[in-house]
Amino acid sequence: MTHDHDHPHTHDDHHHDNELDPFAARVRALETILTEKGLIDPAAVDVIVETYEHKIGPRNGARVVAKAWADPDFSDWLARDATAAIASLGYTGRQGEHMQAVFNSEATHNLVVCTLCSCYPWTVLGVPPVWYKAPPYRSQAVINPRGVLAEFGLKLPETTRIRVWDSTAELRYMVVPMRPAETGDLGEEELAKLVTRDSMIGTGLPLRPGSLSPSALWPPQADLGAGI
Ligand code: FE
């Protein structure tokens, strides 16, 4: 299966896992040189990394999804112009400049990957999980998406089509999962708690209210390691 996308090698989150060690070494060397020349403050670098790892995380995306579930006008806006709709909640910045929201339905389940490297919507999901950057996920997501979902414990009905979106430096995708049943009386804040990171990548489903299991008929998602 071909999965072309125009993927210029100009973006700065270019992790090639098959050369991870040289890459890490180059990062270390660059950081050392820049620090020695007084061009960067290592503490500032740590703050940036900390921010994306722990402060932003997938909570931003969860609020976007919850608002879309609760507010049809926002949902329409998110479908038409995700970048603007997401920015209206204050979530802007690098790796999120051009966003597209893809909506799950009974007919279509969406799955996000970056086949070439690790493009990911940082502003709404934080830093990508290790498996997202791993070659098995990146290749199998397009070759055998249903098999990948099964690895995550997500078995969709055969009648549900799986649509795979290959992220690029220019365009990042987030999945808007279906709103779980029995959430009619929940406010946005409560709804947001049901939205998992994986449900916004497409490898999982939102939680069911009052439980830690996914919302639909399918078994709980497994914690997938680097090897699928
Ligand atoms: Fe990429």
State how many domains the chain has.
2
pLDDT band of residue 218 (cuts 50, 70, 90) is very low
Residues 79 and 188 in one domain: yes
Asked whether residue 32 carries a pLDDT value surpassing 50, the answer given is yes
Q: How confident is the model at residue 226 (pLDDT cuts 50, 70, 90)?
A: very low
DSSP secondary structure letter of residue 214: B
DSSP 116: S
How close is the Cα of 169 to the center of ligand 1, in Å?
6
Q: How far is CA 12 from CA 24, 27, 169, 221, in A?
A: 14, 12, 9, 31
Domain that holds residue 39: 17-53
Instruction: Specify whether 24 is located in the same domain as 107.
Output: no
d(CA 153, CA 41): 43
Q: Is residue 208 part of a domain?
A: no
**Which of 75, 88, 117, 199 is flagged as catalytic?**
117
Q: What is the mean pLDDT of residues 36-54?
A: 72
Note whether 32 and 75 are same-domain residues.
Answer: no
What's the confidence (pLDDT) of residue 13? 46
Query: Quick one: 187 and 146 in the same domain?
Result: yes
Asked if residues 115 and 141 have their Cβ atoms less than 8 Å apart, the reply is: yes
Average pLDDT over every residue of 138-159: 95
The yes-or-no verdict on residue 224 having pLDDT over 50 is no
- Residues 68 and 131 placed together within one structural domain of the fold: yes
pLDDT surpasses 80 at 158: yes
* Active site (annotated) includes residue 167: no
- Percent of the chain, pLDDT > 90? 54
Catalytic residue among 75, 88, 118, 199: 118
Same domain, yes or no: 29 and 63: no
Mean pLDDT along residues 205-216:
71
Q: What is the CATH number of the domain that holds 100?
A: 3.90.330.10
3-state secondary structure (DSSP) of residue 135: helix
Q: How far is the CA of 134 from the centre of ligand 1 (A)?
A: 12
Decide if 114 is catalytic: yes
117 is catalytic: yes
* Residues 113 and 167 occupy one common structural domain: yes
Q: Specify whether 78 is located in the same domain as 169.
A: yes
Q: For this structure, is 119 an active site residue?
A: yes
The overall average pLDDT reported for the chain is: 82
CA 32 to centroid of ligand 1, rounded, Å: 26
Q: 124 and 21, same structural domain? A: no
